[in-house]
């Protein structure tokens, strides 16, 4: 489909902003176009430039299902509680 090397992974990135308790978080959805692993989409949570621990990653076969998976995982946490999932909050 795309002229890539054997182990390349090509993805499109969709960005969402989430404000919780006056703190700004960024959610990046990686939509795998070619290559990659078991899931077609991955949702990653960032605060400033720091990526959360992988236990908060969302996965799915669509952009929306990956986003929902991540939002379900963080639903019960305040912003202060979420900071414990980042290496350098």
Residue 20 lies in a domain: yes
Residue 68 lies in a domain: yes
Q: Which residues form the domain of 28?
A: 10-84
pTM: 0.89
The region, left, alpha or beta by phi > 0 then psi within -120 to 50, assigned to residue 21 is left
Residue 65 lies in a domain: yes
Residue 21 lies in a domain: yes
Number of domains in the chain: 1
**Average pLDDT of span 16-33:** 97
Distance set, CA 45 to CA 4, 8, 77, 85 (Å): 28, 23, 13, 10
d(CA 37, CA 3): 18
Residue 3 lies in a domain: no
Higher pLDDT, 2 or 53: 53
For residue 28, give the 3-state DSSP assignment. Answer: strand
Which residues is 16 bridged to in the sheet? 27
pLDDT > 80? residue 11: yes
Closest CA to 39 of 9, 15, 16: 9
Residue 67 lies in a domain: yes
| Residues 38-84 pLDDT 10s | 779 999 999 999 999 999 999 999 999 999 999 999 999 999 999 99
């Amino acid at each position: 489909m795309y002229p890539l090397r054997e182990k390349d992974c090509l993805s499109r990135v969709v960005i969402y902003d989430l404000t919780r308790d006056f703190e700004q978080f960024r959610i990046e959805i990686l939509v795998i176009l070619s290559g990659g692993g078991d899931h077609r989409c991955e949702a990653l949570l960032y605060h400033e430039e720091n990526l959360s621990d992988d236990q908060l990653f969302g996965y799915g076969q669509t952009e929306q299902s990956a986003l929902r998976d991540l939002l379900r995982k963080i639903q019960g946490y305040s912003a202060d509680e979420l900071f414990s999932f980042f290496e350098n909050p």
